[in-house]
Amino acid sequence: MEQAGPTRGAERRENPRKTITRPAVLNHARLGPHVGWITDVSLEGAFVRSDWNDLPTFTAVEVLVTLQNGEQRKVNEYRLSATVARATKDGIGIRFDKLNMESYSALLDFVIKGVARQRCNPRLFDL
């Protein structure tokens, strides 16, 4: 009997995704900053609920998000370079570009280790 191969989203992903609701600021070189909500995240990318749903695939964006890093429970802001992977009526799927070690470590703690004590930084919205 032939088995069907992966066809959609999660079935093709190499890294697990974590469902969250976290504010983030998207920044585009021409359009400027825009507040959205990350609704799921992995080590490779995220989905950002936003009305910026018409950005073309391969558009470069920057994402500003706050994450707690490591055992020190220190909350840091991270600026992550990303590329639009897909757009839907609800927002955009982004793929992270090269992450530095600190950003990667914070994402690893959050996604893989399931750090439940993540908090938002109110300064995030000081555009």
Domain containing 62: what range? Answer: 15-116
- Say how many domains are in the chain: 1
> Is 105 domain-assigned?
yes
What residues are paired with 22 via a beta bridge? Answer: 38
> Residue 86: which CATH number?
2.40.10.220
> Is 122 domain-assigned?
no
Confidence of residue 70 (pLDDT cuts 50, 70, 90): low
> Taking CA 26 as the corner, what is the angle to CA 106 and CA 13, rounded to the nearest 5 degrees?
55
Confidence of residue 13 (pLDDT cuts 50, 70, 90): low
> Is 64 domain-assigned?
yes
Q: What pLDDT score was predicted for residue 44?
A: 92
Does residue 96 register a pLDDT over 80?
yes
> Is 123 domain-assigned?
no
Residues recorded for the chain: 127
For residues 4 and 103, the model is more confident at 103
pLDDT digits (tens, 9 = 90+) for 31-52: 899 999 999 999 999 999 998 8
> Is 69 domain-assigned?
yes
DSSP string, 7-32: -SHHHH-SS--EEEEEEEEEEETTTE
> Is 82 domain-assigned?
yes
